[in-house]
Structure 1
Amino acid sequence: MTHKITLIPGDGVGPEIAQATRRVIDASGVNIEWEVVEAGEALIPRYGTPLPEHVLDSIRRNRVALKGPITTPVGGGFRSVNVTLRQELNLYANVRPARTLPGIVTRYQNVDLVVVRENTEDLYAGIEHRVGPDAAESIKIITRQASERIARFAFELARKQGRKKVTAVHKANIMKLTDGLFLECARQVAREYPDIVFEDMIVDAMCMKLVQAPENYDVLVLPNLYGDIVSDLCAGLVGGLGVAPGANIGTGAAVFEPVHGSAPKHAGKNRINPLAMILSGIMMLQHLGEDEAANRIYEAVLAVLREGKALTYDLGGNAGTSEMADAIISKMLA
């Protein structure tokens, strides 16, 4: 079977890690026809936006996309391409696994959890305005429909992956109506899954417990803002954003992407670790039902990490982006 996939190389180091990932996936034996479309800062002069409509159309048509990082200005300029993609395509579930990998030095061992983040509302709905010259207001939106949907997604993921516990993370002790509704919905959905342990945790306590004993947690489900913050914390437990894959999944489309930014100062230097995007590609293959190819790549990644000879600078080595991809391909073909 041939899969047609939208490939968005992105900004900064995006094209380099996208090319490395494409080569690794192609070498796995899966049949993919790549439809390459550009998005990012360079398109603004031509289209007035970093995300032209034809990019969205490609994803809608192919239903699956692999995307490199795209620059988002801080404090001004265009709105996040990632947020726009999620809202335009209703990619309501952000999925970010955090798993300990061999050969990567961290303070923790035996971490294996998944953060499931609601992707379409909360403060990230972007409903904000100035209140006079000296104040600004942002409106937090939480709905029953979105809260039930993300809770059910988390429980279904736990069941599919053979995981034992779902933890709903909130601040319902303070935001009793918004986070209270999220927690109420999570508790209601949990009753449908008696085979899975359910608990809830206030978000500040959750952060403390994650840095104390992350091995105690399995699937976390959170509203948008907390999910963004806690998923980066979890990436830090296993080595940082350079090894953090991600997926944005909806009913009609799914976009897979590394979590890290575009790192424009490193662009074109062939030095950035491609693992986050390669691991995102593995998630994409699993989504497509290509488990054999996904496993082949993952085992090759583990072999390269254990060997420790073809690692990029952030992992303690001196290999380039393309050389690390070459090493992974070599392990697959051995």
Structure 2
Amino acid sequence: MQTSYNGIPVPTGGQPIQYANGAFQVPNNPIIPFIEGDGTGRDIWKASQRVFDAAVAKAYGGKRSVKWYEVLAGEKAYRQTQNWLPDDTVKATVDFRVSIKGPLTTPVGGGIRSLNVALRQLMDLYQCVRPVKYYSGVPSPVKHPELVDIVIFRENTEDIYAGIEFREGTPEAEKFIYFINNEMLQGTKKKVRLDSGVGVKPISITGSKRLVRAAIKYAIDNNRKTVTLVHKGNIQKFTEGAFREWGYEVATKEFRDQTITERESWILGNLEQTPGLTPEENAALIEPGIEFAPKEFGDSIVAEVKDVIAKIGHSHGNGAWKSKILINDRIADSIFQQIIIRPSDYSILATTNLNGDYISDAAAAQVGGLGIAPGGNIGDGYAVFEATHGTAPKYADKDVINPGSVILSGVMLFDFLGWHEAARLIESSMEKTIQQKFVTYDFERQMQGATKAKTSEFATRMIENM
């Protein structure tokens, strides 16, 4: 552990968060690095830190406090060090394990891909966690936003984030396409066009299972009733489809006592509704039209029914399955409709990378947009919480932007640390402030009779409402 990073001394009176045996040890005065962010990030962080400190002081009466430690990234880092992402910043984020950041600019003309990419790779932050929850009073484009309470677990290291691409017309692309066409697709009607850019979509059993495992553990710890595996397995059977299959394996082999799959619930539910139902009759109920299918298919469904009853009939039957966590799956395009017309049916979504990217923003639109959408990148022993929106440079230093995304990312951080009292204080004071229609311009223009508040004024009112 260094005594300073980027020439900035580590705060005195604080201690680093430790991690051992799969658990964090959080002192009462943890040192937590922060990156204020570019553009509007400067105003947002000032407001957010005041809210965080007030909530901790109110919740714990001085027995706990955060020692915030600024580390440099983005424009501020470049001005001071001629480096968009100094090595010391990465080192501090690793050494202190848990950090928070505002929005950062990706520099024009190259430089860093993004801070998230660098930290994700170094710290193996394989979970992108995005809670999507409605706070009363927030303007919304849907009729019943209050029904939305979803946590999205997006795999964060594979799929398109692996970054394996070859530009059209390059020798690398030509070589890759030649290999695919003449080796892998030889003898088939499939061919990759020679003028294509190409990318590789890796989805591994390791990456998939650990993401689903984290989602199910979260469901257990937070009394969530469903975990939905989101995929495009009807088209991409060996990547997206495999994600689905591996997810079910985690549920049924590692969390057998706590989970029930959707098909298992149908089988046990049918048997409870009609005692004495034969396996053949049960199979016909879960697969309508089975009599028209090949005999081998019908036999496999009957065997599935018998297997479920034999293995979990005693432990999960007689209605016991209704208290278990339901594991189901949905096709990716379908889930966009589902979270709009039936949001209360969904609690946790476990997704591959690209699907989760789209769904996170689409879901956030129902509850106020990215301005109040928090996020976290989490791995085994490390976490970086962050604003999910951009830097909006034209509003920089004007004290007008909604600080909600960073503030609610702080709620995630405090819950992660186990400081739930501070987290609930922040949530309730934000909701009360919004209900009072004392809001920043993005909400004020959508709310009749609202008062337009500055970023700093919104934070002050939140503190008063604690």
Give your verdict on TM over 0.5: yes
CA distance in 2, matches of 1:328, 1:181: 46
CA distance in 2, matches of 1:49, 1:177: 41
Distance 1:75 1:51 in 2: 15
Look at both structures and tell me which one has the larger radius of gyration over its CA atoms.
2
Residues 1:304 and 2:433 are matched in the alignment:
yes
Contact 2:53–2:65 (8 Å) recurs in 1: yes
3-state SS of 1:117 partner: strand
* Contact 2:139/2:368 (<8 A) preserved: yes
Give the structure 1 partner of residue 269 of structure 2. none
Q: Distance in 2 between matches of 1:174 and 1:277?
A: 37
Q: Using the alignment, how far apart are the partners of 2:347 and 2:87 within structure 1?
A: 38
1:236 alignment partner in structure 2? 365
Which residue of the partner structure matches residue 376 of structure 2? Answer: 247
Residue 90 of structure 2: aligned partner: 56
Query: What CA deviation, in whole Å up to 9, does each residue of 1:265-314 have, x standing for no partner?
Result: 11111000001111110110111111111111211112111111x21011
Q: Structure 2: how far apart are the matches of 1:60 and 1:51? A: 14
Residues 1:224 and 2:366 are matched in the alignment? no
Partner of 2:149: 112
Aligned to 1:70: 104
Query: Gaps (5+ residues) in structure 2?
Result: 1-27, 58-63, 171-194, 260-323, 445-450
The aligned runs of 1:260-271 (5 Å cut-off) are 260-271=389-400
- Deviating above 3 A after TM superposition, structure 1's stretches of 4 or more consecutive aligned residues are 41-49, 73-78
3-state secondary structure, aligned to 1:50: coil
Pick closer, same or farther for the CA change 1:42–1:31 going to 2, 3 Å. closer
- What SS class does the counterpart of residue 99 from structure 2 fall into? strand
* 1:92 pairs with 2:129: no
- Residue number among 451, 454, 457 corresponding to 1:320 in the alignment: 454
The partner residue of 2:230 within 150, 165, 169 is: 169
Normalising to structure 2: TM-score of the pair?
0.68
Cα 1:91–1:36 change in 2 (3 A) is same
2:405 is equivalent to residue 276 of structure 1 = yes
Name whichever of 34-43 and 320-329 sits farther off.
34-43
After TM superposition, the structure 1 = structure 2 runs for residues 56-205 of structure 1, keeping only pairs within 5 Å, are 56-72=90-106, 78-106=112-140, 107=142, 108-109=144-145, 110-132=147-169, 134-191=195-252, 192=255, 193-194=258-259, 195-205=324-334
CA distance in 1, matches of 2:88, 2:123: 13
The structural deviation recorded for 1:212 is 1.9
Contact 1:60–1:252 at 8 Å: present in 2 too? no
Q: CA deviation at 1:45?
A: 6.7
CA displacement at 1:4 relative to structure 2: 0.7
The 10-residue stretch of structure 1 (55-64 or 37-46) with the greater mean CA deviation from structure 2: 37-46
Give CA-to-partner distance per residue, 1:149-190, whole Å, 9 cap, x none: 000000011111111000000111111111122111111012
What is the aligned-residue identity percentage? 44
TM-score (norm 1): 0.95
Deviation at 1:112, TM superposition (A): 0.7
Shift of 1:252: 1.9
How many angstroms does 1:44 deviate by?
A: 4.2
Question: Does 1:259 find its partner at 2:388?
Answer: yes
Aligned to 1:2: 29
One-letter identity of the residue aligned with 1:5: I
Q: Given the superposition, is the C-alpha separation of residues 131 and 112 from structure 1 closer, same or farther in structure 2, using an over 3 Å criterion?
A: same
Say how many residue pairs are matched. 331
SS in 2 for 1:101: coil
**1:283-298 map, 5 Å:** 283-298=412-427
Superimposed CA distance per residue, residues 111-157 of structure 1 (whole angstroms, 9 cap, x where no aligned partner): 11111101111111111112416532111111111100000000011
Cα distance between partner residues in 2 of 1:119 and 1:63: 18
Give the one of 19, 33, 43 matched to 2:46: 19
Query: How far off its partner does 1:213 sit?
Result: 2.0
Q: Deviations over 1:32-87 (max 9, x none)?
A: 11110111134347656522221111111111101001123689664122222212
Amino acid at match of 2:325: I
Contact 1:91/1:251 (8 A) holds in 2: yes
Equivalent residues of 1:4, 1:33 under 8 A apart: yes
Measured after TM superposition, the shift of residue 261 of structure 1 is 1.0
Stretch deviating more after TM superposition (298-307 or 270-279)? 298-307
Find the aligned partners of 1:305 and 1:275 in 2 and give their Cα distance: 11
Amino acid at match of 1:325: A
